Structure 1
Amino acid sequence: MYLNVSAARTMIILGSGGHTTEMLEVVKKLNNERYTPRLYVVAEGDQNSVDRLLEIEKEGGDYKIYTITRSRKVHQSYKSSIITTLKSAYECLILLLHSRPDLILANGPATCVPVCVVAFFLKVFYINGSCKIAYIESYCRVKSLSLSGKILLYLTDIFVVQWPDISKISRKILYFGRLT
């Protein structure tokens, strides 16, 4: 029996450094016909992630790259980060209303928090109720969740960890073992 499964508009959030490395390893394993178009989100000024992404997507698949304001820059005060976080959330709202992803893949960079929070509220208010949010905790998180993970644990549809000890934190957490 053949199942005709339609493609899923997939939003993939990249962070800087290790988060991008891990997420691009996951992207390499995705079926490009099933997860298309791919809508990448990067924080402003993260040219490294864009360059690495372009290397992965050099075959010319169906993808777009979107840039959003960083919620909080390194050494930025928490007080002033309220303004940049609100600006980022507004940009995410416009992006999510325009792109209407079926699936959001996130793995921990701070950039993913406003995207996932806005997507969650769009689901709650039935504006994009079919969107699924999948969070993959970074491989380096062996004993505890990251701050992004703690914030998003109850807002995601699937929450995956790569170490068994972390899966004991909540029944919602799924242990998949090493993904990259």
Structure 2
Amino acid sequence: MKICLVGSSGGHLTHLHLLEPFWGNKERFWVTFDKEDAKNILANERKYNCYFPTNRNVKNLIKNTYLAFKILKSEKPDIIISSGAAVAVPFFFVGKLLKIKTVYIEVFDRIDKPTLTGKLVYAVTDLFIVQWEEMRKVYPKAINLGGIF
């Protein structure tokens, strides 16, 4: 299994990194910001840098959509996993077009309100995971796996 892990640097990247028991023994690559925390956390990992800022930035959304096509067509992952934020959107939509399975994990600090990214990718996500039972009211098709932290 080949995994594409997509996430903004900071908490989203940390969140994905905590899933190491799942991805640690699998072929993988990362897509994130070219920032110091990402460079440190992913020092020994294969990483693609995406464009930022991403929040409400149409220019970078277009650039990241092109990047998603380029990376996903080249790498051909079996699955895309993300916990956000906005960089996940083009990768999930392009992934859907390319018939790549997607898993989205809504962030831990959202207990009863959705994130913008979660709302945008919910319809195209194959497996949508929440960490609080209250979030199943927001995302009825979600699975609650409890807290990752």
Q: Same fold (TM over 0.5)?
A: yes
Partner of 2:121: 152
User: 1:76-131: CA deviations, max 9, x gaps?
Assistant: xx5xx2222111100110110000100111002111111111111222xxxxxxx2
- The 1:21–1:31 alpha-carbon spacing in structure 2 relative to 1, beyond 3 Å, is closer
The ranges of structure 1 where at least 4 consecutive aligned residues each deviate by more than 6 angstroms after the TM superposition are: none
Structure-2 separation of matches of 1:111 and 1:47: 18
Identity over aligned pairs, percent? 26
Could you list the runs of 5+ residues in structure 1 that have no partner in the other structure? 1-7, 58-62, 124-130
Match of 2:89, SS? helix
Query: Matched residue pairs, number?
Result: 149
Match for 1:173 among 142, 145, 148? 142
What residue is the counterpart of 1:49 in the other structure? 38
Q: Which residue of the other structure, out of 53, 76, 83, is the alignment partner of 1:107?
A: 83
Give the match for residue 39 of structure 1. 29
Q: Which whole-Å CA distance do the structure 2 matches of 1:110 and 1:46 have between them?
A: 16
> Is the Cα–Cα contact under 8 Å of residues 3 and 23 in structure 2 kept in the other structure?
no
Distance 1:53 1:115 in 2: 19
Given that 2:112 and 2:138 are in contact with CA atoms closer than 8 Å, whether structure 1 keeps it comes out as: no
Which one of the candidate residues 140, 144, 152 is aligned to 2:109?
Answer: 140
Please list, as runs of the form range in 1=range in 2, the aligned pairs for 1:75-94 lying within 5 A after superposition.
78=56, 81-94=57-70
CA contact (8 A) 2:106 2:130 kept: yes
**Structure 1 position 71, deviation (Å):** 5.8
Q: What TM-score comes out, normalization by structure 1 length?
A: 0.76
TM-score w.r.t. structure 2 length? 0.91
What per-residue deviation string (whole Å, max 9, x for no partner) do you get for residues 36-89 of structure 1?
A: x1111112x3231121122xx4xxxxx51111222636xxxx5xx222211110
Aligned to 1:159, what secondary structure does the other structure show?
strand
CA RMSD of aligned residues (A): 1.7
How far, CA to CA, are the matches of 2:66 and 2:52 in structure 1?
Answer: 12
Partner of 1:29: 21
Bigger Cα Rg: 1
